[in-house]
Amino acid sequence: MSTFEYVKDCWYPLGFSSEFPEGELQGHKIVGRPIVIWRSDKGAVVAFDDRCCHKRFPLSQSKLLDGGRLECAYHGLCYDTSGQCIAIPSQPDKAIPAQARLSVVPVKEQDGVVWIWPGNPAAAQRVAPPRTPEILDPENLSIGSPAPLRVPANYLLLIENLLDITHFYPLHDGNIGDKENSKIPVELEEGESEGYTYVKTTRHVDSYQQPPYLKEWFLYDTVERTHTHCMVTPGLTRVVMRVAPPGELGTDKERGYTLLHLHYPVDERNLVWRWSVSCKNWHRTLSDPTMPTAQRVAEMFPEVVAQDQWALERQQAMMEFPDDGYSELFLKTDKALRRARQILMGLQRKERALQIVPADKPTAVDEPVTT
């Protein structure tokens, strides 16, 4: 576990569309790679390796000019939105070298999210980013996390956390959790969707006494509940909860939410985490019939997230010690976590295999040719 790194060939969610206003230059680090990104004057988001082709100066610490052009703050090399260098102040009378351009990083904006592909650009053509239609669905009120959460932990630890609710007690006891969560049977599903291998858990329970936060959000004391957690891709985990009085799921008494967890690895020991909650527009809370449920969830959920972050940071700290015979114990309820780990490690092995290309034996110029 301590040697787990990250998958590079993947669409990762760099942020919500609203986080990339026109005219703002941004620098990010993802899978250990520095990236510069901005929204051009044409409205499109563009991304490149965050190093000037001249002397490696970080372009994210430079400035944008009119027309979406980027000027390096060190020697003034200027780039257009295709990454091509279009001006070199120190040699205005000479042709611009063909290699004077930036390495393009594939980027796509879709369903309210900006996705980046930090790995092999050619591989990005094989699959599109996963869909997140909940964010822009007109029947929903969707609210995203107020700011990206930067957690000093490997992103696999977060994915495993999000697939698991047996930690709701004791970590979230008194808000969204209790001991009864740990007793709910778990059904495991996995397969292929949208070009990705997913793993999903479903927990169904009847006559369940809701913890305080869930009662506030979804009105009822005793419910029938269906709760699913799905690692859609290494960058997206979708959580769906549906509750209603026993026997009323699927009726107008049903309440619930979709929680999208958007995450990416900064490096082996750090991740960035965002979330978005979506509820039906007309859903209201127990204590205030005028308060939209999504708004109340967004106000209260950061406490839950902080508890998860507390645990993740401490897990990561223990990764720094040698195993010395230690091995993790997997429980019956950990099947999805184990499969997620296997899927991600399988993707890593695939990437490494593709990087190993045997070289052809060179032929000496004076070697005689036989027929």
Mean pLDDT of the chain: 93
* Same-domain status, 237 and 303: yes
CATH assignment of the domain containing 236: 3.90.380.10
pLDDT in tens, 311-357: 999 999 999 899 999 999 999 999 999 999 999 999 999 888 877 55
* Same-domain status, 137 and 40: no
pLDDT attached to residue 370: 33
pLDDT in tens, 289-317: 999 999 999 999 999 999 999 999 999 99
Chain centroid to CA 191: how far? 20
* Same-domain status, 74 and 152: no
* Same-domain status, 231 and 99: no
Residue 12 counted as domain residue: no
pLDDT attached to residue 366: 36
Q: How many residues does the chain have?
A: 371
* Same-domain status, 155 and 72: no
Q: What confidence tier does 3 reach under pLDDT thresholds 50, 70, 90?
A: low
Beta bridge pairs of residue 38: 46
DSSP string, 238-285: EEEEEEESTT-TTSTT-EEEEEEEEEEEEETTEEEEEEEEEEETT-B-
CATH assignment of the domain containing 50: 2.102.10.10
* Same-domain status, 66 and 195: no
The count of structural domains within the chain is 2
* Same-domain status, 331 and 190: yes
* Same-domain status, 98 and 178: no
Residues above pLDDT 90, as percent of the chain: 89
Residue 295 counted as domain residue: yes
Q: Are strands 270-280 and 255-267 parallel, antiparallel or unpaired?
A: antiparallel
pLDDT attached to residue 306: 98
Nearest-angstrom CA–CA distance, 18 and 29? 19
Residue 330 counted as domain residue: yes
pLDDT in tens, 64-105: 999 899 999 999 999 999 999 999 999 999 999 999 999 999
pLDDT attached to residue 362: 40
Read off the pLDDT of each residue in 255-283 and give the average, rounded to a whole number: 98
Residue 118 counted as domain residue: no
Which 8-state DSSP code applies to residue 97? Answer: P
* Same-domain status, 189 and 266: yes
* Same-domain status, 93 and 143: no
* Same-domain status, 156 and 279: yes
* Same-domain status, 153 and 58: no
87 contacts 77 by C-beta, under 8 angstroms: yes
Tell me which residue range forms the domain holding 72.
24-106
pLDDT attached to residue 119: 95
pLDDT attached to residue 154: 96
Q: What confidence tier does 363 reach under pLDDT thresholds 50, 70, 90?
A: very low
Whether pLDDT at 114 is above 70: yes
Please choose, from the candidates 98, 115, 97, 119, the residue with its C-alpha nearest in 3D space to the C-alpha of residue 107.
115
Burial 266-305 (b: 16+ CB within 10 A, else e): bebebbbbbbbbbbbeebbbbeeeeebbbbbbbebbeebe
Residue 119 counted as domain residue: no
pLDDT in tens, 145-170: 999 999 999 999 999 999 999 999 99
Whether pLDDT at 257 is above 90: yes
